[in-house]
Structure 1
């Protein structure tokens, strides 16, 4: 082996180990001990603000409280999923919690907590109409889980004009 080849191999291995170490350091599961992780909550709150715009209370304090209740219902919905599905969803939340993952899957450059509702809506729309099946699946997972958790609350039915189940 020539010295130049050995040096290239050493530099390449060093870069690979550094990237792996960085990835392990920033990778945090989105579902921990039956709860959303601290990193996953801002993402789900941001998605809820975008998906449920016009349905959420307009007062910021009341909206914050409504989003906290929404996250609790979302945790219940996720807890009811099959273990394999929860694991995949946890991995997705972890990926969306990193800047490269968020940018690659959603196109959103801002962190979830700082992104505006129109920016998040544009990112969701881009995922919805994407040629990538993966991006479309991510869009449907985010939207469907958000809607399921929000409209599982009987208090949200009024916005739909749904009077509730018929008494038998």
Structure 2
């Protein structure tokens, strides 16, 4: 005899569990494939997606220090991106892969929306949208999202402030001659 008390609709069955696990695996593999396809670093260089993300992050993190003139601002941001590539190439391979994955997550629409709430690409977003996205990462209740914020902020700031050409933008006159 079969006990019908066990057939309650809220009681998970083995087939339901297998279908759910398969669906979660397929979604995870799809997102992983998208992140790999949109990765931020390839062969030691920033990809177009990685450049877009790093440019947007630079605008959001060091934007108040950048000049208001569009031509000057673009020149400084292009120099910053070149300096980021040099900075990243000096890191160990494992860190390059991890930062590339983070840039891939932030470059991919689905994962960018989950991490930052930003629905448009970094290049199309306004400064207010970028500031809100960065603030969302910074104040997120999930430690992994806050860690993502700390990594991208750290890379952006280290690359920007280690370039002596940017010191005058911050008001720092440079080291004192002894």
**Bin of the TM-score, shorter chain as denominator length:** 0.7 to 0.9
Give the match for residue 101 of structure 2: 91
Contact 1:106 1:123 (C-alpha < 8 Å) held by counterparts: yes
Residue aligning to 1:24: 33
Determine which structure has more spread, i.e. the larger CA radius of gyration: 2
Aligned to 1:159: 169
Which residue pairs with 1:110 in the alignment? 120
Alignment-derived partner of residue 6 in structure 2? none
Q: Distance in 2 between matches of 1:141 and 1:13?
A: 32
Alpha carbon RMSD of aligned pairs, Å?
A: 2.6
How many residue pairs align between the two structures? 161
Deviation at 1:38, TM superposition (A): 1.3
1:1-168 equivalent positions in 2, closer than 5 A: 20=29, 24=33, 27-28=36-37, 29-168=39-178
1:43 and 1:97 in contact (8 A); partners too:
yes
Q: Are the counterparts in 2 of residues 27 and 98 from structure 1 also a CA contact under 8 Å?
A: no
Runs of 5+ consecutive residues of structure 2 not aligned to the other structure: 1-17
> What secondary structure is seen at the aligned counterpart in 2 of 1:52?
helix
Answer yes or no: is the 8 Å Cα contact 2:40–2:101 preserved in 1. Answer: yes
TM-score by length of 1: 0.82
Calculate the TM-score normalised by the size of structure 2.
0.78
**CA deviation after TM superposition for structure 1 residue 162, in Å:** 2.2
Following superposition, the deviation at residue 13 of structure 1 comes to: 7.2
Call closer, same or farther: CA 1:142–1:26 in 2, change over 3 Å: closer
